[in-house]
Amino acid sequence: MSKPFYITTPIYYVNDRPHIGHTYTTVLADVIARFHRMRGEEVYFLTGTDEHGQKVEKAAAARGITPKQLADEVVANYTELWKTMGMTHFRFIRTTDEDHKAQVQRLFKRLLDKGDIYKSTYKGLYSVSDEAYVTETQAKELQAQGLAHQLVELEEETYFFRLSAYQDRLLKYYEEHPEFVQPDFRFNEVKRFVEGGLQDLSISRTSISWGIPVPGDEKHVIYVWFDALLNYLTGCPANSWPPDLQLVGKDILRFHAVYWPAFLMAAGMFQPTTILAHGWWLMGEDKMSKSKGNVVRPDTLLRFGNDALRFYFMRDMQVGHDRGFSYEGFMDRLNADLANGLGNLASRTLSMIQRYRGGVVPMPTVLDDLDREMAQQLLAVFPEYLEQARANNFHGALDTLWTYLRTLDGYIVKAEPWKLAKDPANDPKLDAVLAILYRALRATALLVAPVMPELAQTLWESLGHATNVAETTFHGFALDGPAIGPIGEPKPLFQRIDKEKEMSEPETSAAPAETKPALDVPEIRETVDADTFFKVDLRVGKVLEAERVPKSDKLIKMKVDIGLEQRTIVGGIGKAYEPADLLNRLVVVVANLAPRKLMGIESHGMLLAASDSASKPYLVAPPADALPGFLVK
Ligand code: MSP
């Protein structure tokens, strides 16, 4: 027998309650898990929380509670949400679980004995907000963005993992396993990163205590990413290794596509088949994240139903790409596709079968060209949907299906069944129309069951089934088979949302901006006198040209008009802005900053941007009627 399909989500940090970014990953995993079950596979689905590390230690200290108390509190939020949402994971793993701690220590010890881990001294910078060591180049970029204050100098005895020894092996593995990272463009980024050279990785800390102790050297705790990644091992039953699919956000791909396979190579274990990196839910141009105070919590959306949120996630986000969230877009999608599209089609079809055939689904005897065309389209749409879903492309699959449902609306308009019903001579044609619509709905219930389990079940029952739709497998399903019996009680599938009313409510009329947590706001810097401050020449500039600096994902080179002259300025804003977004934008320039070289390009000035210690920069914008050259004072 083949091994169970093993799928994982990242484990979530416990310094925040879940927002829709986290919810999205888990929904995607759950949809995929359900889809594979309906393919007849056994599925093992793991999710959980990442509870150690400096971030959590600090967050707990700020609230005067222990890290474990903080973790317990946040974990309850996650487990309750997943329960409400009907997630079908088998285990919710916590990195504070005893079996996990033992596993991490065991592997640490094994790699130490093997020589893959060794003790030395780390001297350099560390970013607490990313829980990551920072290289010289990365530090320079943060400096350029005015974010250097989020770095701390570290000089401490540490255990290193011999990552450098795995560079060639990783590259070879990537070469031989083109499906290892998806999408391809992300895989290329990973390859370029590894080709750029790998340094040994510091994997223990002595300056924090909230973590798993190094066995036999307890003043060290194990680095949070070494600890966290191993959850996939701890949480996996012996018969399920290796993972078939590991879902991650693009921000944590490097940890999963470089460190994780290297740890597994060192441990002599099989690699996961595919690591799938999805994009972010954005608010405006920014990643939705706690530190930016722009998060949307799932509870504000779940009042429209669990399935509505699941459908919106799957339908609107193309896996791999970013997607902007808006309440309006959310409501429009649900009204168009669920209240109108599918909901309408189902209620029309069921009421016609009820009215014209007393609830008994007819068997068609004659098909005309149009009927045949509709029936054939279903035979093509069904496998196409399954193929797209198997490639984890639910966005495409749902698009395929909804395009077909729209065609059926047109078919009803053309066939005019209400007219056919008036003359018994048209009975064969009416039978054909009703049977085709019925079959389309039956296939739809089956196909959407992984995405919208409750809605699919309601539809399935309305179509006359007494079984659980999720227990039906796709394979071998007779698309043109007869109905199982008379149709059941038609139930509405989705209540249309009153958008006007919703938009006037405070919860949806604007993003519920949450209060920023004190933790991410940096300390006030040391006092300077007014003379010192006024030495800084700040003035309005206008961006004339912008392009990315090759080999840097952060730096953008711009030509900026500052009234008297045009300047070349290199800014570390490439993660927050695309060059095209910058053109003709008014900015505030520090005009008398000594020139400095960034990745070989001389930068004459700096742009002011707002951010806290964890977020990306927002460019400070002068009013629209300001002109290049105006002094800012
Ligand atoms: N604890 C680490 C993961 C360790 S896995 C061994 C972590 N946790 S996290 O809570 O910060 O993020 C968890 C996941 O949520 C990541 O995959 C991240 O990409 C995802 N998301 C967080 N914000 C997101 C959006 N705005 N949009 C989509 N997903 C995002 O990283």
Residue spans of alpha helices (H) in 341-368: 343-357
Mutate to test the pocket of ligand 1, among 104, 280, 297 (most ligand atoms within 8 A of CB): 280
257 CA distance to ligand 1 centroid (A)? 15
Percentage of the chain modeled with pLDDT above 70: 96
Q: Which residues line ligand 1 (CB under 6 A)?
A: 10-13, 21-22, 24-25, 50, 228-229, 248-249, 251-252, 280-281, 287-289
Q: Average model confidence (pLDDT) for the chain?
A: 92
Residues near 299 by beta carbon (within 8 Å), at least 6 away in sequence = none
Largest CA distance in the chain: 96
3-state secondary structure 104-152: HHHHHHHHHHHCCEEEEEEEEEEECCCCEEECHHHHHHHHHCCCHHHEE
Query: What number is the average pLDDT over the span 457-473?
Result: 97
Q: Which of 465-469, 573-577, 605-609, 613-617 has the lowest mean pLDDT?
A: 613-617
What tokens were used for 543? Answer: 């961006």
Question: What whole-number distance in Å separates Cα of residue 290 and Cα of residue 15?
Answer: 9
Choice between 502 and 316, residue whose per-residue pLDDT is larger = 316
With CA atoms as reference, report the closest residue to 272 among 236, 303, 308, 242.
Answer: 242
Going by pLDDT thresholds of 50, 70 and 90, the confidence category of residue 518 is very low
- pLDDT for the residue numbered 286: 85
With CA atoms as reference, report the closest residue to 74 among 44, 106, 96.
Answer: 96
289 CA distance to ligand 1 centroid (A)? 9
- pLDDT for the residue numbered 288: 86
- Going by alpha carbons, the residue nearest to atom 12 of ligand 1 is 12
- Whether the link from the prior residue into 450 is cis, omega within 30° of 0, is no
Q: Which of 148-152, 461-465, 551-555, 610-614 has the lowest mean pLDDT?
A: 610-614
CB atoms within 10 A of CB 195: 12
Atom of ligand 1 nearest to the CA of 13: 10
The answer to whether residue 517 scores a pLDDT higher than 50 is no
- pLDDT for the residue numbered 55: 86
Mutate to test the pocket of ligand 1, among 251, 278, 319 (most ligand atoms within 8 A of CB): 251
The answer to whether residue 155 scores a pLDDT higher than 90 is no
- pLDDT for the residue numbered 72: 97
Going by pLDDT thresholds of 50, 70 and 90, the confidence category of residue 516 is very low
pLDDT by residue (tens digit) across 585-608?
999 999 999 999 888 899 999 999
Are the CB atoms for 237 and 77 separated by under 8 Å? no
Mutate to test the pocket of ligand 1, among 50, 54, 234, 291 (most ligand atoms within 8 A of CB): 50
76 CA distance to ligand 1 centroid (A)? 18
Going by pLDDT thresholds of 50, 70 and 90, the confidence category of residue 523 is low
Are the CB atoms for 273 and 242 separated by under 8 Å? yes
- Going by alpha carbons, the residue nearest to atom 5 of ligand 1 is 10
Question: What whole-number distance in Å separates Cα of residue 152 and Cα of residue 589?
Answer: 27
With CA atoms as reference, report the closest residue to 15 among 48, 47, 46, 58.
Answer: 58
9 CA distance to ligand 1 centroid (A)? 9
- pLDDT for the residue numbered 506: 57
The helix or strand, by DSSP H or E, that contains position 177, with its residue range, turns out to be none
Are the CB atoms for 285 and 208 separated by under 8 Å? no
What three-state secondary structure class fits 394?
helix
The answer to whether residue 511 scores a pLDDT higher than 50 is no
The helix or strand, by DSSP H or E, that contains position 72, with its residue range, turns out to be helix 67-84
Query: What number is the average pLDDT over the span 22-42?
Result: 98
Question: What whole-number distance in Å separates Cα of residue 75 and Cα of residue 13?
Answer: 9
pLDDT by residue (tens digit) across 229-242?
999 999 999 999 99
Choice between 6 and 579, residue whose per-residue pLDDT is larger = 6
- Going by alpha carbons, the residue nearest to atom 15 of ligand 1 is 22
- pLDDT for the residue numbered 188: 97
Q: Which of 288-297, 303-312, 346-355, 380-389 has the lowest mean pLDDT?
A: 288-297
22 CA distance to ligand 1 centroid (A)? 6
Choice between 502 and 269, residue whose per-residue pLDDT is larger = 269
Question: What whole-number distance in Å separates Cα of residue 533 and Cα of residue 217?
Answer: 49
Q: Which residue has the tokens 């970014």?
A: 21
Question: What whole-number distance in Å separates Cα of residue 204 and Cα of residue 213?
Answer: 9
Mutate to test the pocket of ligand 1, among 7, 25, 93, 234 (most ligand atoms within 8 A of CB): 25
13 CA distance to ligand 1 centroid (A)? 8
- pLDDT for the residue numbered 522: 56
Most confident stretch, 337-351, 477-491, 603-617 = 337-351
24 CA distance to ligand 1 centroid (A)? 10
Are the CB atoms for 317 and 323 separated by under 8 Å? yes
The answer to whether residue 614 scores a pLDDT higher than 80 is no
Are the CB atoms for 262 and 193 separated by under 8 Å? no
The answer to whether residue 10 scores a pLDDT higher than 90 is yes
- pLDDT for the residue numbered 513: 45
Residues near 628 by beta carbon (within 8 Å), at least 6 away in sequence = 539, 540, 541, 542, 561, 562, 563, 586
Atom of ligand 1 nearest to the CA of 228: 6
With CA atoms as reference, report the closest residue to 437 among 343, 339, 348, 336.
Answer: 348
- pLDDT for the residue numbered 583: 87
175 CA distance to ligand 1 centroid (A)? 27
Atom of ligand 1 nearest to the CA of 16: 10
Question: What whole-number distance in Å separates Cα of residue 347 and Cα of residue 153?
Answer: 65
Question: What whole-number distance in Å separates Cα of residue 97 and Cα of residue 85?
Answer: 24
Question: What whole-number distance in Å separates Cα of residue 197 and Cα of residue 238?
Answer: 34
Q: Give me the residues paired with residue 586 across strands.
A: 542
- Going by alpha carbons, the residue nearest to atom 17 of ligand 1 is 249
- pLDDT for the residue numbered 510: 45
What three-state secondary structure class fits 163?
helix
- pLDDT for the residue numbered 1: 62
Residue spans of alpha helices (H) in 478-632: 499-503, 506-509, 530-534, 579-582
501 CA distance to ligand 1 centroid (A)? 33
What pTM does this model have? 0.80
Percentage of the chain modeled with pLDDT above 90: 75
The answer to whether residue 514 scores a pLDDT higher than 50 is no
252 CA distance to ligand 1 centroid (A)? 7
* Residue-wise DSSP of 501-542: HHHTSHHHHS--PPPPPGGGSPPP-----HHHHHTS-EEEEE
